[in-house]
């Protein structure tokens, strides 16, 4: 990493924490949208649609949208297969298993990245990294077997959707690593969120949504998506990815706190221990 002033590094950490805080509001705001007429698929669609709009407005203002024709198709496909799937599965997980559980399961993503990087970037899996992967999946097992979760069909479905969201989310790390050397984050997400919006459109049924529901989905698109991704991308300009990942681990902690304050959700003790294992594993991955 090139030398940066201490002030710039502190600003980078603050930007990552800001991104984590904005992401953590995704679950509670989504539940607010559900309470006012929106379904999970519809909420996921409008989140990606509003995010795409804001990213395109940003890119057009900065003239930062020109990419190779072949890369346009690749990034649109990336949005359709990764961003769309992550949004749909996360929204379903929030509805079935709650905000805190969905956020914790989403954070299996860095562990999946380590496994995929072994094949995509030929990174070795050894030592602390292997232990971190084992610890993370032990955490997932604790969540799945926790009292009241394993016995519930709906919650089991929520866990499955949460794991699927984490897997889809992990693909975003791989694609970002492949494309950020050529394009800005704004350019990548212009096409990525456009592809996600197109992919989700056939699966939604438009329902009667109250003004509060529309405001909730607009907030999802602007605060918990556009601003969050923008803050994280800016932070990466002054921080190495491993340091940024450590700070971003605040997201599931923020989400669990918000779920408790906003909705009164509490995780069972074994699920809480599983979540702690997952977060500890991600910290170990960043230090490896």
Question: Scanning the structure block, which residue is given the tokens 């096409």?
Answer: 191
> Residue 1: is its pLDDT beyond 70?
no
For 187-208, give one letter per residue: b (16+ CB within 10 A) or e: bbbbbbbbbbbbbbeeebeeee
> Residue 103: is its pLDDT beyond 80?
no
Residues 168-213 pLDDT 10s: 988 887 887 788 788 998 999 999 999 999 999 998 888 889 999 9
> Residue 24: is its pLDDT beyond 90?
no
pLDDT band at 85 (very low <50, low <70, confident <90, very high): very high
Q: What is the C-alpha to C-alpha distance for residues 46 and 72, in angstroms, rounded to an integer?
A: 22
For 132-161, give one letter per residue: b (16+ CB within 10 A) or e: bbebbbebbebbbebeebeeeeebeebbbb
Burial class (CB in 10 A: 0-12, 13-18, 19+), 31: buried
pLDDT top residue among 277 and 190: 190
The three-state secondary structure class of 181 is: coil
Q: Please give the helix or strand (H or E) that residue 227 lies within, else none.
A: none
pLDDT at 72: 93
Residues 37-59 pLDDT 10s: 998 889 989 999 999 999 999 99
Q: What is the DSSP letter of 223?
A: I
């Amino acid at each position: 990493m090139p030398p940066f002033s201490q002030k710039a590094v502190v600003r980078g950490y603050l930007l990552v924490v800001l991104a984590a805080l904005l992401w953590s509001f995704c679950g509670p705001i989504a539940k607010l949208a559900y309470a006012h007429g929106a379904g999970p698929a519809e909420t996921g669609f409008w989140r990606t649609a509003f995010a795409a709009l804001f990213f395109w407005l940003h890119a057009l203002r900065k003239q930062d949208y020109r990419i190779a024709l072949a890369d346009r198709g690749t990034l649109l496909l990336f949005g359709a297969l990764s961003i769309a799937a992550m949004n749909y599965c996360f929204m379903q997980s929030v509805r079935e298993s709650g905000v805190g559980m969905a956020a914790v399961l989403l954070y299996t993503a860095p562990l999946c990245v380590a496994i995929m990087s072994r094949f995509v970037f030929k990174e070795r899996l050894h030592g602390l990294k292997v232990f971190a992967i084992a610890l993370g999946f032990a955490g997932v097992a604790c969540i799945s077997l926790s009292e009241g979760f394993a016995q519930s069909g709906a919650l089991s479905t929520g866990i499955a959707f949460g794991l699927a969201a984490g897997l889809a989310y992990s693909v975003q790390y791989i694609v970002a690593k492949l494309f950020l050397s050529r394009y800005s984050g704004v350019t990548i997400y212009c096409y990525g969120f456009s592809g996600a919006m197109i992919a989700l459109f056939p699966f939604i049924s438009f329902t009667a949504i109250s003004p509060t529901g529309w405001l909730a989905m607009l907030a999802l698109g602007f605060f918990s998506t556009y601003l969050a991704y923008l803050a994280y991308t800016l932070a990466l300009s002054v921080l190495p990815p491993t340091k940024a990942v450590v700070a971003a681990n605040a997201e599931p902690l923020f989400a669990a706190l918000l779920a408790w304050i906003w909705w009164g959700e509490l995780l069972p003790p074994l699920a809480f221990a599983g979540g702690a294992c997952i977060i500890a594993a991600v910290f170990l991955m960043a230090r490896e």
